[in-house]
Structure 1
Amino acid sequence: MNDNIMTTDIHEMISHWLKTPKNGYLGSDYGNDLAIFKQALTSNDKNAIQEIISNMQTDIQSLQGCEISIKNPGLGDSITICVDGNCRQHTLNYMD
């Protein structure tokens, strides 16, 4: 993780990314596809989850080179994302 950026900043960037629909900005494919994300978690599809992480790293360049894991502890839309061992709970929906 970039030493100049705080862990809270990173997780705020992730939270923003999670809340932004794919192609949510004109001329950019920034954001995530909630349906695909939820399906990957529900089916525990490790390849699909890795692709989501890769897309997140592409969209949030501060995450490039970071170790990222995503876990769904069976709490519905609540997920845990860890970046270089720093974990935070996030909500999977476009509106909070």
Structure 2
Amino acid sequence: MANEINGEEVHGMVGHWLATPVNGYLGSGYGSDPQSLIQKPMSAGLGDAFIQKMERDVPVIGILPGGAVNVYFEDRDNRSKNLIVNVMDRLVRVDSTGTVS
């Protein structure tokens, strides 16, 4: 019997990755810095690099079909925004304080 990973598990992996700071595990570059992405303008084109880092750290992301993972921003008010990672039609939000939900 083959082990299968479902969308909920991938969603959880991405949530964990977003909540773990870069180098959060000794000897590993695993983790993300979503707040640095939130502070950059969308025109900087950092979303692709962010997804590539996610693919390196969470290899299952790399085998998902094209368009299964997207990154975008949502304005909360005049001074803050959320980073949204859409993973297989499930959303993971990171607010400007770094809280993952």
The verdict on a shared fold, with TM-score over 0.5 as the criterion, is: yes
State the Cα distance separating 1:90 from its structure 2 match: 2.0
Residue of structure 1 in register with 2:87 after alignment: 83
Contact 1:24–1:30, Cα closer than 8 Å, also in 2:
yes
2:47 alignment counterpart: 49
Cα distance between partner residues in 1 of 2:7 and 2:100: 22
2 CA distance for matches of 1:95 and 1:65? 24
**In proportion to residue count, which structure has more helix?**
1
Distance in 2, Cα, partners of 1:94 & 1:21: 12
1:64-79 aligned at under 5 Å gives the runs: 64-66=62-64, 67=67, 68-75=69-76, 76=80, 78-79=82-83
CA RMSD, Structure 1 to Structure 2 (Å): 2.4
Counterpart code for 1:44: M
What secondary structure is seen at the aligned counterpart in 2 of 1:73? strand
| Partner Cα separation in structure 2 for residue 78 and residue 55 of structure 1 | 19
| CA deviation after TM superposition for structure 1 residue 71, in Å | 1.6
Deviation, structure 1 residue 36: 2.2
* Cα contact 1:18–1:94 (8 A) shared by 2: no
The amino acid across from 1:54 in the alignment is Q
Q: TM-score under structure 1 normalisation?
A: 0.77
Identity percentage of aligned residues: 24
TM-score, normalising length: structure 2: 0.74
Deviation at 1:55, TM superposition (A): 0.1
The structure with more radius of gyration: 2
CA deviation profile, 1:27-68 (whole Å, cap 9, x unmatched): 00000123422124xx11363110000000110011013332
Q: Which runs of 5+ in 2 are unaligned?
A: none
